[in-house]
A and B are shown apart, each in its own frame.
Chain A
Amino acid sequence: MKHFSRSLFVGVALCALTLAAPALRAATPADQLVIGTSLAQVLSLDPQQATEAKANEIMSNLYDRLVASTPDGKIVPQLAESWQVDDKGITFKLRDATFASGNPVTSKDVAYSLGRLLKLDQAAAANLKRVGYTKDNIDQLVKAVDDKTVRIDLSGEVTSELLLYRLAMVVASVVDSVEVQKHVANDDYGNAWLRTHSAGSGPFTLNRWTPNELVILDANKDYVSGAPKMRRVIVRHVPESQVERLMLERGDIDIASALTASDLATFDNKKGFEIQRVPTGGFYVLSMNAGNKYLSNPKVREAIAYGIDYKGIEKTIMGPYGRARTVPVPENFEYAIPSPDWHLDVAKAKELLAEAGFKDGFTVNLKTIAQTPRIDLATAIQASLAQIGIKVDIQQGNGSDIIAAHRARNFDLLIPQTGSYMPNVLGAMEQFASNPDNSLEANNAGNFVWRSAWDIPELTALTAKASLERDPKRRGELYVEMQKMFVDQKPAVLPMFERFEPIVLNDKVHGYVGHPNQTTRLEAVTKAETD
């Protein structure tokens, strides 16, 4: 019914819009930026808890980190004025910033925040835990030397260069320890309070967050680098893409994200609007459960890799959302190898299936979140695998039930998406290439590869080795080796398309540069009439 209604809608919409073309245009005030998006996944605005992309975008404007990464991947100072790297760790000098509360930002706040991250111990902690920082050792490894100097020792499982990238993530935001500690209840490190309040030194403060309705950010006039240009930023929850499109067209919102492909297409070359295709460094992935009797066979996995029409799907479905790529490292990254020769080749795929002993094919299920463009992607994969004799039953669901099935290894095929936290091979590839313990008992549901039951001890060891290699040249060689080994093993977590987040902006908006890690800062954004 919904689909029927949508196609009918498009027709009526076009007619109505053509008729009413010169209609009045309302506009948001020039000193307020209004962003329309879906806030459905935003469950917290505590930087040491939330990891969801939309929450990141908001929190990266409420808080500063020691360092930040630029959209093209360089590490730049934020709260740290400078830093010194030695064999054992990094010493940061802090600049003279203050929190929105008026409290000065001190090294104690930095130590408190990193400790808080690991002690709260939720998904946000994963990136530091993965390299050996734990709630037990964090207080020894992070020390306030004096008020403006903080020392972070290496854990022994990461190089300082890679640690800097992790410190540039929103999870490493520095919170106002004096303020947060006033709100601690039941040893929760102030979590219940900080979910809905802000205690940062960033360019904005949180005025209000009403889940699934809106977030209002107020400019922090005392921001250390000067007050932001916008007096307020309003992020509005608009769950329906078509409605969001209308609001953007009418000027009630300035920036729209989470639009469906067809709504995006209406802004192609449309006067007054600009489409930005923000790279994420992540992928749309076909996860195959290697615990399944068919999919455990590398030949079957290879047959599937030859059974997908990457180019066709890229053209007809992915559009602004993705680019065909079967190595889990974006093509433009240093040391990225070319994609292997996987392309739709029905004869070869059938031959591989026959070699594996499944000449007559078989039936598997494919689970996916019912969301653009994953649902269309699933249908296309179903059609193309049918040609090689694999019958696919699609089961769609909402985020929580599909993720639960993924965590429980309860699927045959599944389409998840990934992101990259640093713009290098390791940042993009880490979650595809490390699975320390594949046993069921390990229950390592937080590990992307474990969820596919794909046992890769050699690749895991190589990944660990690359994270510790300090010599850039040698590290580059390891990066190449990792990618080749990944391809050779016929991955059970098959990257298919490099993932982009398309957004549409009213061209009055200037200075908005979408950040690959969803840490887009808004302090320099301005609005001005151009026509």
Chain B
Amino acid sequence: MKELSVKELARRVTHLAVSLFILLCVTFVIGRILPADPVGAIVGELADPTAYAAMRQKLGLDLPIYQQFLIYLNGLAHGDFGTAVLTGNPVSSDLAQAFPATFELATLAILISTFVGVPLGLTAALFRDTFIDKIARIVALVGHSIPVFWFGIVGLVIFYAGLNWVGGPGRVDVFYEGMVTPQTGLLLVDSLLQGETEIFWNAAGHIILPAVILAYAAMAYITRMTRSFTLEQLSQDYVIAARAKGVGPARTVIGHVLPNIAVQLITILAISYGGLLEGAVVTEIVFSWPGIGQYMTNALMIGDMNAVVAATIIIGFIFMFLNFLADIAYAIFDPRTREAAQ
């Protein structure tokens, strides 16, 4: 515990900050050298050169790139991500609007993948090389190799268009649009807070398919990793001893193995969660989900680099922050680290 002192924490925070800064630099530079033309997008394809030049100047795109970067950093220091070309709003307010939709989707997805993936991995390990194990492995392999895009469309064809079990694209049926005032931005939460149970169920019907599809790839990874962590533990002396004493397989796993792989699992879950936020980009396009992924893709299409850079930074930050938390968790909870420290 002592080793995870203020010093160690400071080192990790610095590391996080430096990584973020590098991400920022790279994204910014790529954004500015791309041949995309936000000015043309704003003033129109047939605008004449004076109007074009005026807008270019207004956006500060006529300055040398290092100056643009300094201006950007200065803004960032004041919490200003710049203005989005697409919406004319501050990027930060756009992101504040788009992020909850992604957050809601990814959180539901990580819950699904955890509650399915971990037990599946444990069971597969326990019944190694049996029928159950094979099924689990196939499920995991499929989830790992099929593109989300394809999965999403097939899901819609079957469960939405065909069977009519789930709602279609979007967060809610169109005629419910605009009936819930965003408070947290999470539609499931807001609709309940405002007593709109009908909208809650409608929204739940809409989120379930994209969440399951998004969860599937993560679940595959979680299952595989849980299985291999468990197998590693099963060959350890303490497990063999426990089983020799007559402890049943379920108790062995829940009472002995699970606590021992918990820290590794936390890391895996953190990584998966970050991955889900990224994976949302494709899912959101297929499901017309108005989250950060769709926002970023559209921004990229018209060369709206303020929006792209900010969205990248946010996703990057979350990804790195989750890793950071996982590392910390490791240091705090791993018994071996703890013993070494003592």
Contacts and interface: CB of A to CB of B under 8 A. Distances in A.
Q: Do A and B originate from a single complex?
A: yes
A403 B154 contact: no
A34 interface: yes
Interface string A395-416: 0011111011101000000000
Contact of B161 (A20, A32, A216, A445): A20
A125 B161 CA distance: 44
Interface in B17-76: 34-38, 40-52, 54-55
Contacts of A252: 168, 173-174
A276 interface: no
A301 B250 CA distance: 78
Nearest to A122: B43
Contacts of B173: 26, 252
Interface stretch (A78-86, A241-249, A485-493, A514-522): A241-249
A41 B285 CA distance: 15
Interface residues of A, number: 75
A51 B40 contact: no
A122 B40 CA distance: 10
Contacts of B168: 243, 246-247, 250, 252
A5 B153 CA distance: 10
B125 interface: no
Interface stretch (B1-9, B225-233, B297-305): B297-305
A239 B285 contact: yes
Given A8-B150, A16-B157, A400-B36, A211 B86 contact: yes
B156 A9 contact: no
B170 A236 contact: yes
A461 interface: no
Nearest to B161: A246
Contact of A121 (B45, B50, B97, B303): B50
B298 A40 contact: yes
Interface in A6-34: 8-9, 12-13, 16-17, 19-20, 23-26, 28-29, 32, 34
B154 A12 contact: yes
Contacts of A232: 175
B302 A43 contact: yes
Contacts of B162: 16-17, 19-20, 23
Contacts of A52: 44
B285 A240 contact: yes
Interface in B145-192: 147, 149-150, 153-154, 156-158, 160-164, 168-170, 173-175, 177-178
A196 interface: yes
A443 to B, nearest CB: 5
B214 interface: no
A234 interface: yes
B246 interface: no
Contacts, number: 192
A464 B236 CA distance: 90
B288 A238 contact: yes
A232 B179 CA distance: 13
B161 A195 contact: no
Contacts of B48: 126, 129, 444-446
B181 to A, nearest CB: 12
A207 B202 CA distance: 22
A32 B40 contact: no
Given A243-B169, A246-B156, A403 B45 contact: yes
Given A404-B36, A404-B37, A17 B285 contact: no
A213 interface: yes
Contacts of B161: 16-17, 20, 23, 246, 249-250
A528 interface: no
Q: Interface of chain B, helix or strand or loop or mixed?
A: helix
Contacts of A207: 178
Nearest to B49: A443
Given A28-B175, A399-B301, A407-B40, A237 B46 contact: no
A444 B49 contact: yes
A17 B51 CA distance: 51
B303 A400 contact: yes
A239 B295 CA distance: 12
B153 A40 contact: no
A372 interface: no
Contacts of A29: 175
B202 to A, nearest CB: 11
A28 B34 contact: no
Contacts of B85: 43
Contacts of B45: 51, 123, 403
A5 B47 contact: no
Contact of A236 (B34, B46, B87, B288): B288
Given A212-B290, A246-B160, 8 more contacts: A20-B161, A43-B85, A51-B45, A121-B51, A123-B44, A211-B87, A250-B164, A400-B301
- Top 8 closest pairs, chain A to chain B, by CB: A123-B44, A20-B162, A404-B37, A123-B47, A5-B150, A213-B290, A246-B161, A446-B48
Interface of B: 34-38, 40-52, 54-55, 85-88, 97, 147, 149-150, 153-154, 156-158, 160-164, 168-170, 173-175, 177-178, 285-288, 290, 294-295, 298, 300-303
Interface of A: 1-2, 5, 8-9, 12-13, 16-17, 19-20, 23-26, 28-29, 32, 34, 40-41, 43-44, 49-52, 121-126, 129, 192, 195-196, 207-208, 210-214, 216, 232, 234, 236-240, 242-243, 246-247, 249-250, 252-253, 397-401, 403-405, 407, 443-448
28 contacts: A8-B150, A9-B150, A12-B157, A19-B162, A20-B158, A20-B161, A24-B164, A40-B298, A41-B302, A43-B42, A43-B85, A43-B302, A44-B42, A123-B44, A123-B47, A126-B48, A211-B298, A212-B295, A214-B174, A239-B285, A243-B168, A250-B168, A252-B168, A398-B302, A400-B37, A400-B301, A403-B37, A446-B49
